[in-house]
Amino acid sequence: MKQLYLVLLIAMLFVAASQQSVTSSEKPEQATYGDALIAGSIGEPSILIPMLAGDSASHEVAGLVFNGLVKYDTDLSVIGDLADSWDISPDGLVITFHLKKGVKWTDGVEFTAEDIMFGYKTIIDEKTPTPYKEDYLQVKKAEMPDRYTFRVIYEKPFAPALTTWGSLIVLPKHLLEGKDITKTEFTRNPIGLGPYKLLRWSPGQEVVLESNKDYFEGRPYISRYVYKIIPDPATMFLELHAGSIDMMGLTPIQYTKQTSTDFYKENFQKFRYPVFSYTYMGFNLKHPWFKDKRVRQAIAHAIDKSEIVDVVLFGLGSPATGPYVPNTWPYNPHVRKYEYSLDKARNLLKDAGWVDRDGDGILEKDGKPFEFSILTNQGNSLRMNTATIIQWRLAKIGIKVNIRAIEWSTFINEFVDKRRFEAVILGWSIGIDPDQYDIWYSGKTREKEFNFVSFNNKEVDDLLEQGRRTFDIEKRKKYYYRIQEILAEEVPYIFLYVPDATPIVHSRFKGIKPTTIGISYNLHKWYVPERLQKHRIEQ
């Protein structure tokens, strides 16, 4: 479960902000109100205030209750949500948001700049236990010239700044002022302004949301959204088959094999799009063997990424070439690729001094055999299978690999933090913004920081710094393209794959338009034609 949180943590910031979107201008013909969508979830939300939540289930539900100032459009550009428009000063230091007028909280009180200011003050408050504080501490000053204008002034230009004003910081001041935000009833019974509002929460069983008839982007067609908690994936799949749930995320085997019957073709629609995350094998660059770039490149040549995608993910993913998702704007398709070639791998290793002298099938250098361990966290079968394939492939060029799966906390605290590893297989969940300062900057190598492979490249440091200091997308593109070239040349990680999300939805739901950011961004536009409605709900 832990790794789930890990994978979803960072992206949630943005996903939460991008839940809704205005895209379809064409009015669906037979769109009618009514029916309920029952979504299955393994985890239960724990708190419905976005800035206090750490798990994906909480963000998913809270994302339907709260909106942000801005959100991502389907093409990954930033568009207004509660903000009508915004201006960025030429030096990039001041952002002024002009809010939509007449938006109301579901208790009828109008939403104004006061609410943003309150949210901002809450998130930077010492006493608020939130993991998302850092972005807001960059703000030098926040002010509200009038009820519908909110302005923030930064010390230095900070490119990811704009998108941090998503749904994390919007809170109703009139309900929360002067209260201890962690202890109020509001955490489990929030008043929001999003497409849905909370109707009932039965702990451990379900969270029932009701459509917000006064939603500022139009009343959602589906009257109820039920978030049903089913901790066991096998049980959840049976419930899908029995018709008790309408939507769930499928595993690769469920997507490719178990749902390929006529029953599923008739009753369900399946979707597939890349997740904003990638899985990689990272080297400890302080280790004497992996200090040598040629050794890392040789290993890259010896691993067949498409084989891993085919076997581990049943083809439901794409090979990664860098830390970005293919077909998004920061992704550079022209970096050095390491085709699967044992000869190239062997030659590179030979150049680096690794030769099998005693004929036992394992390379040696200075009398030491080339044998190392890949560590990964326990319970993630995808990573274990990936490690096993890599083990088998590397054996072919004379490298002996041992695999160790370790419980998550032990893995992080005892091995990653203390640098007691040779190679790890892990995944990063990435935001839609390409800033990856914390992962690649050479200064971020203290314990608990995230450049734990100890990557150190002056040019990358500069580019990372420049990339986060300008809002000009063309300039940023240039910087991040160059970073990817360097990463591909230096191979601090072997970027393995970007997995696909594979949700399934009952076929009576219409109006779903899959895009790069998934399917749920236009949930309020989904509908069920009258004759197909399953649950009768009084309007």
Partner 1 sequence: MITYLAKRLFEMIPTLFGITLVSFLILQLAPGKPTDILTEMNPKITPEARERLEKLYGLDKPLMVQYGIWLKRVAQLDFGNSFSTDRRPVMEKIWDTKQPLLERRLFITFMLNLLSMFIIMIIAIPLGIFSATHQYSLYDKITTVIVFIGFAMPSFWFALLLMMFFGIHLHWLPISGLKSVNHDSLSVLGQIADRLSHLILPIFVSAFTGLAADSRYMRSSMLEVIRQDYITAARAKGLSEKTVIYKHALKNALLPIITLMGLSVPGLIGGSVIFENIFGIPGMGQLFYASVMQRDYPLVMGILTIGAILTLIGNLLADIGYMFADPRIRAR
List residues near partner 1 by CB under 8 A: 1-2, 5-6, 9-10, 13, 36, 38, 46-47, 52-55, 58, 126-127, 129-135, 182-183, 187-188, 202-206, 226, 228-232, 234-235, 238-239, 241-242, 244, 407-410, 412-414, 426, 428, 436, 438-439, 446-450, 535
From 116, 129, 131, select the one nearest 165 (Cα to Cα). Answer: 116
Name the minimum Å distance from CB 47 to partner 1. Answer: 4
Cβ contact 93:157 at 8 Å: yes
Name the minimum Å distance from CB 25 to partner 1. Answer: 34
Closer of 334 and 446 to partner 1 (Cβ): 446
Angle 210-212-215 from CA coordinates, rounded to 5°:
155
Name the minimum Å distance from CB 409 to partner 1. Answer: 3
Closer of 59 and 296 to partner 1 (Cβ): 59
Name the minimum Å distance from CB 130 to partner 1. Answer: 8
Closer of 42 and 109 to partner 1 (Cβ): 42
Which residue's entry shows tokens 């085997």?
A: 253
Q: What's the token pair of residue 287?
A: 């280790």
Name the minimum Å distance from CB 55 to partner 1. Answer: 7
Name the minimum Å distance from CB 533 to partner 1. Answer: 13
Closer of 108 and 242 to partner 1 (Cβ): 242
Name the minimum Å distance from CB 44 to partner 1. Answer: 8
Name the minimum Å distance from CB 266 to partner 1. Answer: 16
Closer of 228 and 508 to partner 1 (Cβ): 228
Cβ contact 365:376 at 8 Å: no
Beta strand 273-274 with 423-429 is unpaired
Name the minimum Å distance from CB 272 to partner 1. Answer: 25
Backbone angles phi, psi at 77, to 5 degrees: -85, 160
Sign of CA dihedral 219, 221, 224, 230: negative
Closer of 131 and 218 to partner 1 (Cβ): 131
Name the minimum Å distance from CB 204 to partner 1. Answer: 2
Angle 184-209-131 from CA coordinates, rounded to 5°:
45
Cβ contact 498:306 at 8 Å: no
Torsion of CA 119, 120, 125, 131, to 10 degrees: 90
Cβ contact 39:228 at 8 Å: yes
Side-chain half-sphere exposure of 16, counting CA atoms within 13 A: 34
Return all residues near 79 (Cβ < 8 A) that are at least 6 apart: 21, 22, 70, 71, 72, 73
Name the minimum Å distance from CB 60 to partner 1. Answer: 14
Q: What is the CA radius of gyration of the chain?
A: 25
Closer of 146 and 414 to partner 1 (Cβ): 414
Sign of CA dihedral 297, 299, 301, 307: negative
Number of residues that this document lists for the chain: 539
Name the minimum Å distance from CB 257 to partner 1. Answer: 17
Closer of 167 and 522 to partner 1 (Cβ): 167
Closer of 49 and 494 to partner 1 (Cβ): 49
149 pairs with which residues across the strands? Answer: 98, 146
DSSP of 224-271: EEEEEE---HHHHHHHHHHTS-SEEEPPHHIIIIIT-SHHHHHHEEE-
Closer of 239 and 356 to partner 1 (Cβ): 239
Reduced to 3 states (helix: H, G, I; strand: E, B; else coil), residue 343 is helix
Closer of 358 and 414 to partner 1 (Cβ): 414
Task: Decide: residue 369, CB within 10 A, 0-12 exposed, 13-18 middle, 19+ buried.
Answer: middle
Closer of 50 and 220 to partner 1 (Cβ): 50
